[in-house]
Structure 1
C-alpha cells in the first residue's frame, strides 16, 4: 500500500528541484568538470582557446549560440575542436526540449571520440548549459533528474530556470513511459 508521502517522492515538482538547487553552496567558477570529461563553463572560458587546449577540450557545445557576447562557430575553434551551437534563450517561454536529444547525442559522440572532452557553455554557465548536460545524463546515462541534479550541484553552482526544470521533468516522464513500454513488449 503506497502512501501519499511515497507518491510525492515519486513525482517531483519544479519547486522540489529548486530546493535541491538551493542546497548548493559552491562558488561559481569559469569552468568545472561536472562528469568525467564533461565541463560546464561560461562564455569567457569558451573564448579562451589556450585554456581550452590546456584542459584538452575536443568539443564545444554552445547553448547560447548567436547571442550577443557569445562568439563561436567552427571557424573560431579551427580543426582541433568540434563545435555545435544551439541558439537557446534563457527565458520562461523558450522550448529548450527540442534540443535535448541533439545536444545529448553530441555530448555522447564527443565522449566516445579519442581523448574526448567537451565544454558545454552558455553566457554564465548556470542555466542553459546545465540543462543540456542534465538532459544528456538522463537520456544516455539513465539517471533520474533528481540524481543528475545532485551529481551536478556537487561539482558546480548551477541554476536552470523554472521553464527548463519543467521541461526536464517532462523529459523524465517521457523516458519512464518509454522504459515501461519497452519492458511490456
Structure 2
C-alpha cells in the first residue's frame, strides 16, 4: 500500500468531514474543484450565467449526496460526473439529435496540420459557436474523453448518432477555423 502525502491526507479528510456535515470542509472542496468544474460547464453550455448556475447545482447535489461516496479519494471524478450530467440535463430538452445517414456527409478521419496557425482562443470561440447538440458531443468525446458508447448511454441516443454529430461538429469547426485562418492569414 502506498503512503499518502500530507496534501492527499488533507483532501481525504475534507471529503470525510464534508460527509459529516462540516460546511467548512465542503467550502475547501469547492475552492479546490470549482474552477475545473466551471470549465466543464462553460464548454458544454457556452453561456456564462447558465454555466455558473450548473456549477452551483452540481456542488449542491454533491453536498447532498456526499454521504453516499464510498471512496473519498474519488471525489473529483464523482463530482465531474455530476457536473457533466447536470449540463446534459440542462440542454437535452433544448434540441434534438439528428443522425446523418448519408455516408458522404461524414468527414474523413485523417489528421491535418492546417490548424497549426490558430490560437486556442480561436478554437474555443469556434467550439462555442457550434449548435448545442454538436458542441455537447464534441466536448464529451474530444475534450472529456468519453467513448461514443458512453455518450450514447448518457444522452439516450444511438452510438451512430453520437458519431455522426461528432463528425458534423468536426466539419463545422473545420469550416469556421479555415475562415479564421483566411482572415488572419
- Identify whether the pair has TM-score above 0.5, normalized to the shorter chain: no
Report which of the two has the higher share of helix. 2
Report which of the two has the higher share of strand. 1
Relative contact order higher in (CA < 8 Å, ≥ 6 apart): 1
TM-score, normalised via structure 1 length: 0.28
Larger radius of gyration: 2
TM-score, normalised via structure 2 length: 0.28
